[in-house]
Amino acid sequence: MDILAKILGSSTPFDLLLAHLRKTMECVNLTKPLLDAATSDNMEEVRRIADRVFKLEHEADGIKNQIRDHLPKSMLMSVSRADFLAYLREQDGLADKVEDLAAMLSMQGFRLPAQWSNGTFRNDLLKLADYAVTTAQQASALMIRFGELRRKGFSGEVIEQLREEAMAIGRSEWQVDKQQYKLVQALLTLDDPDWPFASTYILLEIVRALGRLADHAEGMGDYIRLMIAD
């Protein structure tokens, strides 16, 4: 049993962090179904999924607040308290970005330009979502592994493996950046006098939210690397 559990008689900060991660990843895994429904003009399904996202994000916030309210001082923790809290902010950012997406996609005015009816932009948007979700899943898998290994101690070889996995998250985030740039470029060069600027703004914010999702995943990897070194 973890020494904190013995002392506190309750879940350790890492136990709660992993519970928060599970709730957060439930949100993340709704990203692609949400976008698929929105770009297929299935607003009933969008609202159903969005309601689920809002509920999960609220539950994740509850766990986050529990962690912050009961986090012990650094002398009782195996990692830096500052690094732990910084990591938590990045992890919580995943659920926040999916919540932002759900709010934007559930707006009645969401649509794609008529000139993109061949599906190219839709496919590129779904590809961006796939890249972003994959990056978040990599970060989640790394945190789960780190949580398991930290109880046993780290050998030099294991530390290098974890660092390489964290670096792989950064490479995935770069793939997201490239796809995000492609979509932003398409939106900013859109030539349609009847297309409202507000719709362009919403699409840009959706693309940006997907990019930020991957940014938070990369941040998770960065802070795991710092906690490995603690």
Would you list the DSSP string of 132-160?
A: HHHHHHHHHHHHHHHHHHTTT---HHHHH
Return the closest-CA partner of residue 217 out of 153, 185, 174, 158: 174
Does pLDDT of 6 surpass 60? Answer: no
What token pair was written down for 103? Answer: 């709010």
Instruction: Convert the pLDDT of each residue in 164-176 to its tens digit.
Output: 999 999 999 999 9
pLDDT category at 111 given cuts 50, 70, 90 is: confident
CB 21, CB 91: distance < 8 Å: yes
CB 50, CB 3: distance < 8 Å: no
What is the distance between the alpha carbons of residues 3 and 13, in angstroms, rounded to a whole number? Answer: 11
pLDDT, mean of residues 186-195: 85
Q: How high is the pLDDT of residue 10?
A: 52
Does pLDDT of 74 surpass 60? Answer: no
Does pLDDT of 8 surpass 60? Answer: no
Q: What are phi and psi of 75, to 5 degrees?
A: -65, -20
Instruction: Convert the pLDDT of each residue in 14-68 to its tens digit.
Output: 999 999 999 999 999 999 999 999 999 899 999 999 999 999 999 999 999 999 9
Q: How high is the pLDDT of residue 112?
A: 82
Does pLDDT of 142 surpass 70? Answer: yes
Maximum mean pLDDT: which of 29-38, 72-81, 140-149:
29-38
What is the distance between the alpha carbons of residues 56 and 37, in angstroms, rounded to a whole number? Answer: 19
Does pLDDT of 75 surpass 50? Answer: no
pLDDT category at 193 given cuts 50, 70, 90 is: confident
**Mean of the per-residue pLDDT values of the chain:** 89
pLDDT, mean of residues 114-134: 88
What is the distance between the alpha carbons of residues 71 and 48, in angstroms, rounded to a whole number? Answer: 35
Q: How high is the pLDDT of residue 80?
A: 86
Token pair 């940006």 is at which residue? Answer: 208
Other CB atoms within 10 A of residue 15 CB: 15
Range of the domain at 140: 3-229
Helix residue spans in the chain (DSSP H): 3-8, 13-28, 31-39, 43-70, 81-105, 120-149, 156-188, 197-229
CATH number of the domain to which 205 belongs: 1.20.58.220
How many distinct structural domains can be found in the chain?
Answer: 1
What is the distance between the alpha carbons of residues 102 and 87, in angstroms, rounded to a whole number? Answer: 24
Q: How high is the pLDDT of residue 72?
A: 76
Q: How high is the pLDDT of residue 118?
A: 67
Q: How high is the pLDDT of residue 79?
A: 81
Q: How high is the pLDDT of residue 129?
A: 98
